[in-house]
Amino acid sequence: MNEKEKQEISLIGRIFSMEALLLLMGLFSLGSGIYNSAPMQIFWGVTIACGAVILHFVRKKDWQKHWAEQEEMKLRYEERRRQAREKKEGK
């Protein structure tokens, strides 16, 4: 498989990704609700579209790096608490 075929498959995969389909569904619902003056349909359209955008950013985030940073922060915090406790007990 050459590079051009891989790019085409990647593009098709991105077009038909879950986020894209949810966004299209939300925009369709929003447009249809505006056209028909249906407030609930507008509400669901906005909700679905916002959810699709949030899902895109959540899936894009590097979660392993995030959890490693959180673990490192936790260890530093525990070390500071331990040092403060030892300092307090030493006085």
Percent of the chain with pLDDT over 70: 81
**43 and 21 share one domain:** yes
**86 and 70 share one domain:** yes
Read off the pLDDT of each residue in 8-26 and give the average, rounded to a whole number. 75
- pTM for the full model? 0.54
**53 and 72 share one domain:** no
Read off the pLDDT of each residue in 24-51 and give the average, rounded to a whole number. 92
**77 and 33 share one domain:** no
**55 and 24 share one domain:** yes
What per-residue string of b and e applies to 32-59 under the rule 16 or more CB within 10 Å gives b?
A: ebeeeeeeebbebbeebbeebeeeeeee
Number of domains making up the chain: 2
Q: How confident is the model at residue 27 (pLDDT cuts 50, 70, 90)?
A: very high
Predicted confidence (pLDDT) at residue 90 exceeds the cutoff of 80 = no
